[in-house]
Structure 1
Amino acid sequence: MTASITVLHVDDDSQFAEMATRFLERENDRFDVLTATDADEGLETLRERTVDCVVSDHDMPGRNGIEFLEDLREEYTELPFILYTGKGSEEIASKAVSAGVTDYLQKEPGTEQYTLLANRIENAVERFRSRRDARTHRRRLETLVDNLPGIVYRCRNDPGWPMEYVAGDCEEITGYTPERLESESLAWGEDVIHPDDREAVWTEIEDALAADESFELTYRIRTAAGERRWVTERGCAVGSGGSDGSDAPRLEGVITDVTESRRRERRFEAIFDNTYQFTGLLEPDGTVIEANETALEFAGVDRESVVGDPLWETPWFERSEGGPAIAREAVETARKGELYRNRATVHGADGDALIDFSVRPVRDETGEVTLLIPEGRDITEFVEQKRRSRRNERRFEAIFDDPNLLVGLLDVDGTLREVNRTALRYVDADREAVIGEPFPETPWWGDDRREDVERWIQRAADGDYVGYTVEHDTDEGEPSVVEGTFRPVTDESDAVTAIVVSGSDVTERARRERELKRQNERLDEFASFVSHDLKNPISTVRGRLHLALETDEMEHVDQAVDAIERVDDLRVDLASTLRTGEIVDERTAVRVSEAAEGVRSVVDPPNAVSITVADDPVVDADPDAFQRLLENLVGNSIEHGGSDVDVRIGALEEGLYYEDDGPGIDPDHRERVFTPGFSTKESGEGIGMGMASVRQIVLAHGWEISIADAEELSGVRFEIRTGGGS
């Protein structure tokens, strides 16, 4: 036995009772000891709590222990009662036995007495529970036997089990008359017992006889008509000697037809072992008799730990909030003959679960409630699904009424069932004109999109989540862009029942994305151009430092410093551009002659190129960007015309021109000169970024640039139109 034992200790000495409680619970961890200080309090406790054993002192105020026992026996006839007294005598012991005491023990000094008392309590409770279980089993068995038709028999104990005497419902059960069963022509073991069960029946009966025990077994028979039935046989050996004069042992017993009962048992077993339902059996007072594997596994307990306990003290209910009260109410309702049904939260090994809980009364033929059947079905997921469904409904309603979303509801075949006002306004359509129509044929889609929409609907009907982006032509010429989804709606079995189509106008976002892409492309080009523009001053620094090392002339160091300062200017320009996203920063009036002087500082060797500025034009420009523009033009002239090339810069009516006396640019190449990566050098040494950088700076200022033949020199001429006077 592993079930807990509740002990009521009645003693007017509260200190002694407290000490005894501690020692008893230490001796046996199954004990739960309650205390009372007199008989009245003890009886009150018995009415409120389920107690397995009472331990009582004798000498107490009011009623003594014997009187307490006599009162107790009027209501609790078999409850174990141990008289544990410090004043022992034969007279007290005799009265206690007469009153129905279970055991008698005298208090002794020392702690050994508590070990003895604990053993006496445990033994008394075990005997009481064993008698109670046996009595219950016997009562049920007698009730079952008394209400079943049967055959009374006497036979010889050999494999054929020839019958010597048969009476009762022989013909109703077997189809054979008693006379036929008693005849030599028919043997019960060979002709009636099913062939597949004969060996097992013989073995089980012989094992019981060898152990000098009675036997009870269930097996199949074949009737005279060939029908198969189930019977239960109960019997025992009754000695030897029969009408035939042999000494073979005789068996006597009863055979009952349990075919229908067997069918009911199998149906009950199917229900009881239902893996989706908690099922059990209770006494009318709520004591657990049985629980199925589903319920046991849910709580993480074994059968022995719950059988014998009240339902409200089992792990399912005791550990859940409000559980004991619900279990008590359910038992009280069912024991009155009424079905109890409600939702309850029960505790499991992996947490709590919400169950559809019921307790059903079972009545006997007199109408008395003899059993209770508690059942529970886990509805946690079902309830959560309903909550999710309701949440989804509310979300759908919110989405459907969103003025920024185009929303429609389709059947699985693509028929439009509902659409919101936002979507109708988007295409200026009437609701009546589109409801019930195939969705691909509605005004939201053109003929060129019909196949796409049909494919998206089919994918959603198959359970896929489909995203789409489409463009619609507008009167303004700029297309509007709609982005959305085809989303399947499923039921509890995951079958698609509908399709929700949603979309939102993302035209402005698409425009911003295109602008951002263009800006990023310009910045990428700018980074390439800056890398190119850094080449000249870095080359100057490197060359001048080498010359300084070779000649010890500080002039070269000064030139290197000027070039480094130019690199720093480019660094600042780059940082500003990356920070603002603009290639051209704040503009100011730039005198071309001053910008040309800055260019000379990065030409190596300095002043090798002749730069003439006529009319000294002034432009409204970003100073650093404009100087990079001139550096690239001068660098291009040196690259193609040599370091002694002549350059002339002058004013135009709306801008300025730049000329050199280099080889010029073939008219066939002029359209490609400003393309990144294009170079006119046959050697392939040029990287083609300088003139692209010039064009980028010109465009960033909002200017225009073109190429022509030089008018005053012999090379190429660039004309930059700034849109204003110089």
Structure 2
Amino acid sequence: MDSPIRVLHVDDDPDFRELTAELLERENDRFTVSTAPGPEAGRERLESAEFDCVVSDFDMPGESGIAFLETVRADYPDLPFILFTGKGSEEVASDAISAGVTDYLQKAIGSEQYELLANRIATAVDQYRTARELERQNDLFEKAESIGNVGAWEYDIVTDTSYVSDEVLRIHGLDTDEHLTPEETIEYFHPDDRDEIRTAFRGAIDDGRAYDLELRMRDADGTQHWVRTRGEPQSEDGDIVRVRGILQDITEQKRREKKLERQNARLEEFAHVVSHDIRNPLQVASGKLEIARQTDDPEAFTQAEEALARIETIIENILTLARHGRTVDETEPVQLQEVAQEAWETVETEGLNLSFDTEVELAADSDRLRQLLENLFANTVEHGDGAHTIRIGEIQPLYTATRTSGDTTTGFYVADDGGGIPEDIRDEVFDSGFTTAAESTGFGLAIVAQIAEAHGWDVTVTDSYDGGARFEFTEQPAGGAD
């Protein structure tokens, strides 16, 4: 190292201070030596300027070099401090070491002692700077790990030992003082992904094959994450001796990818609607208007108006899908019964009854939730042949041998007692444009699915207890997939 070194020399003898400063700067041109006549003046210099090392006498009036060292250590715990004294003894040396002195050197006649002191100063400062640089790099590494949600790990094949950084432990939901072996790590992966990571890890050890995988993992609390795990084998003298890699939490990235996939799917749906669903009634309207111009047939005008009204309905549904496709950013506690009553009043229910099995409170955007319920009520009116009652209630927690009270799924349902939905089309009823009625636009349940997804809910359809359709809404699992 060749950077300048700023030295503060504290000694009550003015002639010795001047001599020491002159000889030190002569010994090493990196040195710039400032002086102080005692500990109090030394502390003032330390407060007003920055120094790389303190050199202090021991025997000074009013305050010893050991006492001065103790006050310096209170504010500058790692600053190099060399006791350079003419009064040396084993007791002084022991006290100095206890107080945290960096080095201890006795004064002596001759220039050789100043050469030795200069070497001790340079060594102490270089070690101090190296330690600070290493600390800074470690701090930057830890911050980079935290910001990027990425941790590092290493497995030593020869010694069968492993190391993981703090961020790896945090991704696993563990405290940073815990230990984690490769086999223990594998157990945190989703059961369906364990064979893949185990095979990849063995391939790195046995055959030197690097791997880069995106897999699912559950942390110590049972929360699911998506992680990227990479392993890079390293060799010495032709033998694989270790595997090093990274583990990165990519849950948010996966969510963004999933959101982008949904947006692309909606764009495709909109393109289909524009190219097909709107084109058909537009052609009908155009044809009927041509007939009306030629024949003045009132029925042709009526049919053209009906076709244009259908186009308007389709466009409104497209706009609704676009609005409700966005993620819900803010929710509030809402009473499902109250929102359902408001939705009920806006739909022509034609003699249907609304019943509540339980009171349900949930976090939601009340406006979007009302739109969801309106569409479900309208769906029953339009397709629930023979339905008399729509029932709303809570899906009770389900406890199993593998679930604890903190790992249950709850939600709500909307069910009717009509004709139900055939099992072979249940996967299609939420697709935009899908309908079993010629006069329907096929967007009602697609909007329901979009609103549910925006809230982070899964929606499924099954049979109700009365034989009709039952729509169930439950929270999506953390991480976006099981």
Structure of greater Rg: 1
Q: Same fold per TM (> 0.5)? A: no
Q: Structure with the greater relative contact order (CA < 8 A, sep ≥ 6): 1 or 2?
A: 2
- TM-score under structure 2 normalisation? 0.37
